[in-house]
Amino acid sequence: MNNFRKGMTWSILLTLFLSLSACGSLSTRGKNTAIGAGIGAVGGAILTGGSALGTVGGAAVGGVVGNQINKK
Q: For residue range 45-71, what is the model confidence (pLDDT) as tens digits?
A: 999 988 889 999 999 999 999 999 877
- For the beta carbon of residue 33, count every other beta carbon within 10 angstroms: 21
Q: What pLDDT score was predicted for residue 61?
A: 94
Chain centroid to CA 14: how far? 11
Closest of 21, 24, 37 to residue 69, by C-alpha: 37
Strands (E), the chain: none
Higher pLDDT, 53 or 9: 53
Comparing 24 with 47, the larger pLDDT belongs to 47
